[in-house]
A and B are shown apart, each in its own frame.
Chain A
């Protein structure tokens, strides 16, 4: 998991900087030709400053999402029903933290240090996927996260793994391989509740009702509200539009929810047989932006837990620091 399908804007810098698209026209042309041919860009290659900036933002947010995303699930390790579910959840949470490490490394190859990224997360400057600002109230929430949020993340990550930046693609290949287990164990736990006792079904339906809005938000605002996708798509930083990814997700997973006799809290949700596209009610984009800006039910707790960890682990890290050592970035 957990690549948020949506790359958040930096608050003070909402658009691709036009002037940066025009520096070193010859190198830029060669760079764009290389991407058009399907070649990967590697850390030492020349790249436009804007490409570097956008990639750092994308990969860093993805990394933060993995780390923060492990918190609502980690909460349930001690309460997971049964030995096998507990083992699977521990393994999944460990994987997510591992994915965070892989992604931080990929972002570091672009020149931003790990410490700078963590500082930006803790200060609230860097964002992470919005879904993790919602609480996991019951075990059914964990199954909805494990099944549907992971599924949505896979749609996004499979698309991104075909992008242009080599280190990010390599990290995503490993991540997608591990995700297949996350999705399967989530689906399995989801089915168990859906086909279980009336109380289990009710608990699952309740979780689904609460999570549907954040899930619809997962891939970001509609394309018509997206200002600068074109250049990012040409550079293969963004591989599919928000609406296309959302549609693909609905296509793959709504039938899997309906076939279990569950409902979704949107009376307008349907696939238009003529266009082949899914139609749905407005999922309240105001709430989406409110939650990004710190107004979600769990924003504060997530960052506080992260700060607590940073503070309480500090003495170990400092004891092992080697200040005289020359610091290096990953080479690939």
Chain B
């Protein structure tokens, strides 16, 4: 007898019975992206198991939006995510010489000051 009357009402089966879940019975995996407020990016927060995208959205709402603020969710099947191989991480290594694509690589004030000094007296506005 269980302490829980509801458990007693279930009429639990044989404790030695073998229950086996089939592969695929827990459906497929969907990645979930969460948008915290309007105007923000959707951010990856985890995944859910679901039989189709519509149900994945419903499960994602229960799992990832039941507490914190959320205005929208995206789901996409995990298998449909295309990603670089992590082994190729070195391709993102920064070439240290990238001043040509950086604001700090362009010294306009130096040139302006030099120009102002060289032409002093002729263009100086007082």
Interface residues of A (CB under 8 A from B): 42, 44-46, 75, 78, 94, 98, 101-102, 105, 108, 113-116, 118-119, 122-123, 135-137, 170-171, 174, 178, 300-301, 303-305, 307-308, 310-311, 314, 317-318, 320-323, 325-332
Contact = CB atoms under 8 A, between A and B. Distances in A.
Interface stretch (B2-10, B90-98, B99-107, B111-119): B2-10
B45 to A, nearest CB: 8
16 contacts: A101-B63, A105-B29, A105-B47, A115-B25, A122-B19, A135-B3, A137-B3, A307-B13, A310-B19, A320-B52, A320-B55, A327-B28, A328-B29, A328-B79, A329-B78, A331-B78
Given A305-B12, A330-B47, 15 more contacts: A98-B63, A98-B66, A102-B63, A115-B22, A119-B21, A122-B19, A137-B3, A305-B10, A311-B19, A314-B25, A321-B27, A325-B24, A325-B28, A328-B79, A332-B44
B21 A115 contact: yes
Contact of A329 (B3, B10, B29, B87): B29
Contacts of A136: 3
B53 to A, nearest CB: 12
Contacts of A98: 62-63, 66
Given A122-B19, A304-B13, A311-B13, A44 B86 contact: yes
Quick one: which of B18, B23, B52 has the most chain A CB within 10 A? Answer: B23
Interface residues of B, number: 44
Interface of B: 2-4, 6-7, 10, 12-13, 15, 17-29, 31, 44-49, 51-52, 55, 62-63, 66-67, 77-79, 81, 83, 85-87
A119 B62 contact: no
A325 B30 CA distance: 13
Given A122-B19, A311-B13, A330-B47, A178 B67 contact: yes
Contacts of B13: 304, 307-308, 311
Contacts, number: 121
Contacts of A317: 25-27
A157 to B, nearest CB: 16
Contacts of B6: 75, 78
B12 A323 contact: no
B2 to A, nearest CB: 5
Contacts of B3: 75, 135-137
Given A101-B63, A178-B67, A331-B78, A305 B24 contact: no
A113 B49 CA distance: 11
Contacts of A174: 45-46
The 8 A-B pairs at the shortest CB distance, nearest first, are namely A328-B79, A320-B51, A44-B86, A75-B4, A304-B12, A328-B78, A114-B26, A330-B47
A305 B52 CA distance: 28
Contacts of A320: 27, 51-52, 55
